[in-house]
Amino acid sequence: MADPIIKIENMNKWFGDFQVLKDINLSVEKNKKIVVCGPSGSGKSTLIRCINRLEEHQKGNIIVDGTELDENTKNIEAIRAEVGMVFQQFNLFPHLSILDNCTLAPIWVKKLPKKQAEELAMKQLEQVQISDQAKKFPGQLSGGQQQRCAIARALCMEPKIMLFDEPTSALDPEMIKEVLDAMVNLAKAGMTMIVVTHEMGFAKEVADEVIFMDEGLIVERAPTKEFFANPKNDRTKLFLSQIL
């Protein structure tokens, strides 16, 4: 078995007195695609936000690509530079054009020359099919286009891992497909992905494994086919019966 690229051991997290994550143990190997699902408030978003330390965990260890996440800011910034993240609300920078959104971090964090960064950005924008919108501002784009731009922006850092935090939940139904298509392409290209989503179709198509979370616990983790065909836990069965 290959060395896991993400390794979480006995991780606990509290918001005040409320424990959101309880004893999480999770390891993800390179090039694997994991889908995390579960009812709202089950801690799935918090879990993936912990992986690039947008949230701090209070107990346990998280090791990403051989580096442990702790108070060391330099380590955290290095990890964040190689872990891309896509948010539910897109979070594009509204004061910058689409192209500038994509080149900002490569230029200032990875110190790429401007020209090279722009070429890279155009390539990524082409991948998600919005290269013709490069000069526009985020406010002028549709939700689906904005989310695809957010994916391109994350990819411009050439990350080793991509985290998706409910990327389609804020979109109109007809725009979900274009974003999912971009994600499927990315998965087929071999990216390591952890996706929090309710899109079970997407999970069936690309996921290697599915994780079901409830009340801060990982209730069930199983290979995709087994997860849908033969869930073991009662809570999982109930959840699947409600959304499928």
Name the residues that contact another protein, by CB under 8 A.
49, 52, 54, 73, 77-78, 80-85, 87, 89, 91-95, 104-105, 108-109, 137-140, 150, 153-154, 157
For another protein, the closer of residues 31 and 91 by Cβ is 91
CA distances from 170 to 27, 40, 59 (A): 29, 14, 32
At closest approach, how far in Å is the CB of 64 from another protein?
13
Looking at the Cβ atoms of 95 and 225, the one nearer to another protein is 95
Shortest distance, position 240 Cβ to another protein, whole Å:
30
What's the first-to-final CA gap in the chain, in angstroms? Answer: 33
Beta strands at 67-68 and 33-37: parallel, antiparallel or unpaired: unpaired
118 three-class SS: helix
- Minimal distance, residue 99 CB to another protein, in Å: 14
Residue 59 to residue 81: CA distance in whole angstroms: 24
Nearest to 164 by CA among 70, 62, 63, 87: 87
Residues with Cβ < 8 Å from 18, sequence gap 6 or more?
none
CB of 137 to another protein, least distance (A): 5
51 or 219: whose CB is closer to another protein? Answer: 51
Nearer to another protein (CB atom), residue 78 or residue 184: 78
Nearer to another protein among residue 101 and residue 197 (C-beta): 101
Q: Please check whether residue 37 is in contact with residue 65, taking contact to mean a CB–CB distance below 8 angstroms.
A: no
Q: Is 230 exposed, middle or buried (0-12, 13-18, 19+ CB in 10 A)?
A: exposed
CB of 9 to another protein, least distance (A): 23
Least CB distance from residue 58 to another protein, whole Å? Answer: 16
Say if residues 26 and 218 touch (Cβ distance below 8 Å): yes
Question: What's CA 158's distance to the chain center, in Å?
Answer: 14
Q: Which is nearer to another protein, 63 or 78 (CB)?
A: 78
